[in-house]
Amino acid sequence: MPDPIPPNLPASISRRWGRLAPLLFGGALMILGCRPNTAGTAIDAQATIEFDPSPPAVGRVGLKIVLTDTAGQPVRLGHLEVEGNMNHAGMRPVFTRLEEVEPGRYAGPIEFTMGGDWFLLLSGQIPGGGRFDKKVDVPGVKPK
């Protein structure tokens, strides 16, 4: 049975590959070089998190967050918006709002819907302008 693919095209193949290779290499470098930087954050506030119960488990959990600036002074936002997500895509996020119970101390409930690794996205409005945003990992929420 004859091969339905035509035989080799002229020797220009190697020239074409020669032209293509730098493009492919350049593209690969560009992709490899553009990994988003997730290691650091520009936010200069420290978030200390406590759960009740600790470690947190699936269900309604008490959440306390203490925000302090680089000088150790409380960061006052009035309230803190919290969005909880699982590391795995495809899970609906959970939202809660923490009220400032003391200067820089925020408290409220959050409901974890599944065991595993979560992260919390904290956000708030800084008085006088600007936003506060921070991601905090919550590894190993216990299953029921």
Partner 1 sequence: MTATRPPAPKFSGGSAAADGAARFDLLRVPVVGRFLRWRGSRTALQIPVLLLSVVMIAHAFFGPALAPKNLAALLTWVHFRGGIVLVLLFAGNFFCMACPFMLPRQWARRWVSPRWNWPRSLRNKGPAILLFVGVLFFYEWLDLWADPWATGVLIVGYFAAAFLVDLLFRRASFCKFVCPVGQFNFLGSTMSPLEVTVRDPGVCGDCHTKDCIRGRRAPGANGDGSAGSRPILQRGCELDLFQPRKVGNLDCTFCLDCVYACPHDNVGILVRLPGEELAVGGTRSSIGDLDRRKDWTILTVVFVFGALLNAFAMISPVYSLQQAIARATGLTVEWPILGFLFALALIVEPAVLLGGAAWLTRRAVSSSLSLGAILKKFSRSLVPLGFGVWLAHYGFHFLTGALTVIPVAQQAVRVATGRELLGAPRWQWGGLPESVVFPMELGFLGLGLLGTLMVGWRIASELAPERTFRAFAPWAFVSVLLFASACWILTQPMDMRGTFVAG
Query: Considering only 2-10, 40-48, 73-81, 104-112, which stretch makes contact with partner 1 by CB under 8 A?
Result: 2-10
**Residue of the chain from 89, 127, 129, 130 that contacts partner 1 (CB under 8 A):** 89
Question: Burial code of 40-73, b = ≥16 C-beta within 10 A, e = fewer?
Answer: eeebebebebebeeeebeeeebebebbbeeeeee
Instruction: Find, among 110, 94, 104, 108, the residue nearest to 64 by Cα.
Output: 108
End-to-end CA distance of the chain: 63
**Residue of the chain from 41, 46, 54, 87 that contacts partner 1 (CB under 8 A):** 87
Query: Considering only 43-51, 65-73, 116-124, 125-133, which stretch makes contact with partner 1 by CB under 8 A?
Result: 116-124
Report which DSSP code applies to 64: E
Which residues in this chain contact partner 1 in the complex, by CB under 8 A? 1-9, 13, 16-17, 24, 28, 31-32, 34-36, 38, 58, 83, 85-93, 95, 114-117, 119, 135, 139-140, 143-144
